[in-house]
């Protein structure tokens, strides 16, 4: 899978653009700044934005090409980001490390999704926040991006099951218009979630 993403990120152009995800941008301003994790951070547009507004960022992705472009984008924006090339199933962080985790279009195969979510939950401090936006099954009818395997798409039910010990601040299914580079363009059906870790 890393070869797929290396090929996608290998072009000079930022394939999802350089502006942050809109939902993330809105939500980050609602919480005290601290340490935030960006799993599957790709070309770094989201972590670079978070760093610009004062968050301490940590990122990982399995694509070395994504990391190179993220580091270049950080340099262009005069910020520091910490970025590792790693697989989500293998990477480890110290428990209770992060004040926030941003899961933005991190679509995992069904058989490993809950395992990765459990790891992410363990890395989050009590009182820490999950910010999530992902495609829901209705996205299969659209041409604005995302996996074509319905089992990799998110639903309210998946989120309520995997984050069942969280206080749910927001959980909606929405139809939006994406404008994120060449691969996220047009009508999209998404799930948006903000949850607070209780313990």
In this prediction, residue 169 carries a pLDDT of 97
Distance from C-alpha of 13 to C-alpha of 8, rounded to nearest angstrom: 10
Listed by start position, the domains of the chain span: 2-197
pLDDT tier for residue 172 given thresholds of 50, 70 and 90: very high
pLDDT of 199 > 80? The answer is no
In this prediction, residue 1 carries a pLDDT of 55
In this prediction, residue 116 carries a pLDDT of 97
Coil, helix or strand at residue 93: coil
Q: Of 133, 93, 121, whose CA–CA distance to 198 is shortest?
A: 121
CATH number, domain 2-197: 3.40.50.150
Q: What is the pLDDT of residues 120-162, one digit of tens each?
A: 999 999 999 999 999 999 999 999 999 999 999 999 999 999 9
Whats the size of the chain, residue-wise?
199
Beta bridge partners, 11, equal none
Helix 64-76 to helix 45-52 angle, to the nearest 10 degrees?
A: 30
pLDDT tier for residue 2 given thresholds of 50, 70 and 90: low
In this prediction, residue 183 carries a pLDDT of 87
In this prediction, residue 161 carries a pLDDT of 97
Contact 88, 40 (CB under 8 A): yes
Q: What is the pLDDT of residues 84-106, one digit of tens each?
A: 999 999 999 999 999 999 999 99
pLDDT of 108 > 60? The answer is yes
Q: What is the pLDDT of residues 9-65, one digit of tens each?
A: 888 899 999 999 999 999 999 999 999 999 999 999 999 999 999 999 999 999 999
């Amino acid at each position: 899978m890393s070869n797929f993403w290396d090929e996608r990120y290998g072009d000079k152009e930022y394939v999802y653009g350089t502006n942050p995800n809109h939902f993330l941008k809105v939500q980050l301003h609602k919480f005290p700044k601290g340490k935030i994790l960006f799993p599957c951070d790709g070309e770094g547009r989201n972590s670079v934005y978070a760093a610009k507004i004062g968050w301490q960022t940590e990122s990982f992705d399995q694509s070395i090409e994504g990391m190179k472009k993220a580091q270049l984008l950080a340099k262009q924006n005069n910020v520091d980001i910490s970025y590792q090339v790693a697989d989500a199933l293998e990477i480890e962080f110290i428990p209770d490390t992060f004040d926030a985790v941003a899961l933005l279009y991190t679509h995992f195969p069904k058989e490993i999704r809950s395992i990765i979510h459990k790891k992410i939950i363990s890395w989050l401090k009590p009182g820490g926040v999950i910010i999530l936006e992902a495609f829901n099954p209705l996205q299969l009818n659209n041409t604005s991006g995302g996996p074509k395997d319905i089992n990799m798409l998110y639903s309210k039910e998946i989120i309520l099951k995997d984050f069942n010990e969280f206080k749910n601040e927001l959980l909606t299914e929405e139809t939006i218009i994406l404008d994120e580079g060449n691969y996220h363009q047009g009508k999209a059906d998404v799930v948006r979630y903000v949850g607070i870790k209780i313990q």
